[in-house]
Amino acid sequence: MTSAASSRSPTLKEACVTEALAIIAEQGLEHLSLREVARRLGVSHGAPYRHFESRDRLLAAVVARCYDAFARHLDARPAGGDADADLRAMGVAYLDYALSEPLSYQLMFSTRLPPPTEHPEMMASADHAFGLLRSALARRSPSGSAIEIEADALFVWSALHGLAGTLRSDILAGLELAPETVAEAGAHMLRRIGAALGHPETREQNVAGQR
C-alpha cells in the first residue's frame, strides 16, 4: 500500500547524502556528523534521523553512491580490441579512478561499514565489477578452468587494489622512492600483471612494448 511512501520527501534524503559528501571532502571523514549535516541544510538536528537510522547508515548511503560511480567508470572504459586489450583497459580504468577520485576510493575501501549483507546494492556493485574482470579473463584464455580464472581475477584485483592503496598511503612519503618509480608504478604494475598471466598469443608485444 505504501509502496512509494518511502519517497515522500526525497529532497532531504538526497540532500543529506550530497551534503555529507561535501563535508567529507572539505573537512574529512572524521568531521562528518548528522548534526553538522542538519546544520548546513538548515533543518533540526533530528531531521536526518527520519531518513537514516544512524550515522553509519548515512555513511553507507554515501559509500553506495561511490560504488555506483566506480562501476560506471569501469563500464565506461574504452571498448574494442581483444580480450587482452580490454583487460588492460580495465586495469587502467581501475587505477585511473583510484587516483583521480581518491576520496571516493578511500570511502569504498578504507571505511568500516555496517555489515555489508544489509546493503545488497553495494554487494551488487562489487559483484558487477568482479564479474567484468572474471569474464575478461575467461575470454582471454578460454581453456582455463573456472577455478583458475577466479584465482587470477582475485590476483589481478588484489594487485591493483594494493597499488592504489599503497600510492594513497602516507607511508609512501617516508620511503624515499624515486619520483619516476611512483609515476610509472601503474604502468609497471599492469606490465607485471600481464607477464604473470602469460600472454596466450602475443607475448612479447606486451612484455616490452606497452605504453
Partner DNA sequence: GAGTAATGTAGACAGCGTCTACATCCCGAA
Partner DNA sequence: TTCGGGATGTAGACGCTGTCTACATTACTC
C-alpha cell at 47: 531531521
Stretch that binds DNA, among 42-50, 60-68, 151-159, 173-181 (CB under 7 A): 42-50
Q: Binding string to a copy of itself for residues 66 to 85, with x set by CB under 8 A, is what?
A: --------------------
55 binds, among a copy of itself, DNA, none (CB under 5 to 8 A by kind): DNA
User: How many Cβ atoms are within 10 Å of 204's Cβ, its own excluded?
Assistant: 8
Based on the shown chain and the rule CB under 8 A, indicate whether residue 169 belongs to the binding site for a copy of itself. yes
d(CA 58, CA 107): 13
| Burial grade of 48 (CB within 10 A; 0-12, 13-18, 19 or more) | buried
Contacting a copy of itself within 128-157 (CB under 8 A): 130, 146-147, 150-152, 154-155, 157
d(CA 109, CA 106): 5
Nearer to a copy of itself, 42 or 115 (CB): 115
Q: Binding string to a copy of itself for residues 89 to 118, with x set by CB under 8 A, is what?
A: --------------------xx-xx-xxx-
Burial 9-26 (b: 16+ CB within 10 A, else e): eeebbebbbebbbebbee
Nearer to a copy of itself, 10 or 114 (CB): 114
Closest Cα partner for 119 from 200, 162, 57, 66? 57
Nearer to DNA, 115 or 179 (CB): 115
Closest Cα partner for 59 from 32, 25, 93, 88? 32
Binding site for a copy of itself (CB under 8 A): 29-30, 109-110, 112-113, 115-117, 122-123, 126-127, 130, 146-147, 150-152, 154-155, 157-167, 169-171, 173-178, 180-182, 184-185, 188-189, 192-193, 195-198
